[in-house]
Structures are given as structure tokens and as C-alpha cells.
Amino acid sequence: MGVTAPETSSATGTTATAGRWMWPLAWASLVANIGIVVTGGAVRLTASGLGCPTWPRCTDESFTPHGELSAHSAIEFGNRMLTFVLAAVAIATLVVAWRSGRRILRRLALVLALGVPAQAVIGGVTVLTDLNPWVVSFHLLCSMAMVGVAVWLLHRVAHPHVVRRRGPLVGLVWTLLGSAWLVLYVGTVVTGSGPHAGDLDAPRNGLDPLQLSQLHADAVFLLVGLTLGTLFAVRVADVGATARRAVTWLVVVELAQSVVGFVQYFTDLPEVLVGVHMLGAALVSAAVSWVVLAVVLPPSPGAEAQPSAATRATVSA
């Protein structure tokens, strides 16, 4: 995402060891949470959502498909197993964050760790309600929120010393964040009204896909307009290179996501493009979170302008 490596290191002993691991684990948390969005999309796009028709077992008799194994069962069961990978990353991140001695890292890592079982339960409710589109929507939005928390963790690992900025620009980026979440939410509702329900017999929300797609496009235009306005604002204001870089990347992600969205709409929603669009949604969540953090919680004065080669590889306690 273009986030610079950590700036300073004052840790010794246990906290120094934690510092060396915190940076790669923060990245692993972000990648894992984006990855679970993509694999969850693969389950839905292959109509494998009920490949394991119950929860927490795969079938009434077993936690694994066993003799009833089919392609759909294998895909759904594989996605469930990936949750354990996400859990392992979350636990390792929490342990290292705790050893770092930094309260903010502990809190963010704890949220990410608790999010794994919470999402597992929501996923179970999704299966037990036969892929109710509103529950599926909530499940996906929770994953998007987890991506945002992972970016927050990465930002605070990279910038242990920050200040809180105030003023009109802060209000603008919070509005930008709200518009991004409006786009994400309406996108999940559009998905709940159209094909790719996750199973051939899964219910739809009964809303008009055409009207919802128009509403989604309108929300996207609002988001892009606010992003371009934010890009202009951070370029004329003295907010530092990190904020300018963050908004620039958000523009790139939004434009790429818009192109994929329009192409998939006019080509009758091919599975591959829908999957790419879901990845793009996770990247939008990550990028807009980065913008908010870069503007609202910038590095302390002088920290961004004076990185050294020796301090780029370590993390402050």
C-alpha cells in the first residue's frame, strides 16, 4: 500500500524482539484479512456456499465432508480451514503486540483476534439461514471493517509517534470515509439482488437489481468526486507526503474498481470479474482507511522527513 517502514526504535530485550516481528505481522494481518474476502468470494461465485450445509459441522455426521465430498464441499470446507490460518496470524500478532508494550498495538491486535471467532459465528449463521442475503452482506462488511483495523495497526506500527490533526480537511476525509462505506454497503445489497447467490437455491433480497445498480453507480460518482476534492486539498495544504501518497493511491484503486464494475455489469457479471471486483472492494476499504489515518493521525513533526536506513527495519516499543 505504500506505507513506509517503521521510523524509530527505542526498544531493548523483549520489546526489541517484538519490534522486529511487529512489522511483518501487521502486513500479514492485512493480507490475511483481504485474502479471506477473496476466498469467501470464490465460495459464493462457485455456488459452494452450502457445500457444507450445516455449522459448525460440515455435515450432520462429521466436521469434514468425508464420503460426501464434492467440489462444492471441498471449496466451502477449504474456506473454513483458511479461517484457522487467519486465526494463527491474529494470535501471533496479538502475542507480539502484547510483548511490545505499546497500548495502541495491543488494542488493535485484540480487535483483530476477537474478530476471527466473531466472523466464524456470523459465517455459521449465514449457512444456517441458507445464505440469507442480508446476513451475507453483514458478513462481508465485517470483513471490510477488519481490513480497516489491519491498516490502522500497520499505520501505528510504522508511526509510533503521531499527532491529531483538526480542521476542515479532517471533516472532509471523514465524509470521504462515510461515502466509501456507503458504496461498499450498497454494493453488497446489489449483490444480494442479483445472481451468484452462493447456491442455486439461495434466496435473494427481492429488490430491483437495475435500480440498485444505478444507486450504486451514483454513490461511486460521489466517492470519486470527494476523493478528487481530497486530492486537491492535500496537495495545496501542508499535510506531508504520506497523506498525498495515500490519496493518490485511493484514486488509482477507485478508478480501477470503477472500470471493473462497469465492465462486469455490461458483460452480465462473469464470475472472474466479480471476484476481482470483490478484491477491489477490500482494497478500497484499505486505501480509504489509510487516507483517514494519514490525514487525521499524521507522524509527529520531523518524524516523516528524517527516516534513516538504520531505523527503517525496526519498530518502536
Question: How does pLDDT run across 121-175, given as a tens digit for each residue?
Answer: 998 898 888 889 999 999 999 999 999 999 999 999 998 888 898 899 999 999 9
Residue 52 has pLDDT above 70, yes or no: yes
- With cut-offs at 50, 70 and 90, classify the pLDDT of residue 14: low
Cα 39 from Cα 234, distance rounded (Å):
35
Spatial separation of the C-alpha atoms in residues 69 and 75, rounded to whole Å: 10
User: Which amino acid makes up residue 12?
Assistant: T
Distance of CA 242 to the CA centre of its chain: 20
Closest CA to 147 of 51, 41, 287: 287
Residue 176, amino acid: L
The pLDDT of residue 306 is above 50: no
Q: Which three cell numbers stand for residue 248?
A: 493518490
Give the separation between CA 104 and CA 86, rounded to whole angstroms.
Answer: 21
Q: Which distant-in-sequence residues (6+ apart) come within 8 Å of 97 by Cβ?
A: 18, 22, 105, 106, 108, 109, 110, 153
pTM of the model: 0.86
Residue 40 to residue 136: CA distance in whole angstroms: 10
User: 49-83 burial, b for 16+ CB within 10 Å, e for fewer?
Assistant: bbbbbeeeebeeeeeebeeeeeebbebbbebbebb
Cα–Cα distance, 129 to 115 (Å, whole number): 21
Per the CB < 8 A criterion, the answer to whether 110 and 93 are in contact is no
Q: 272: closest CA among 33, 34, 42, 74? A: 42
245 or 238, higher pLDDT: 245
CA–CA separation, 33 and 195 (whole Å): 25
| pLDDT, tens digit (0-9, with 9 covering 90-100), for 181-196 | 999 999 999 988 878 7
Query: Are 191 and 212 within 8 A, CB to CB?
Result: no
pLDDT of 89 strictly over 50: yes
Please say if the pLDDT value at position 68 is more than 60: no
Least confident of 132-141, 282-291, 294-303: 294-303
DSSP-based three-state secondary structure for 12? coil
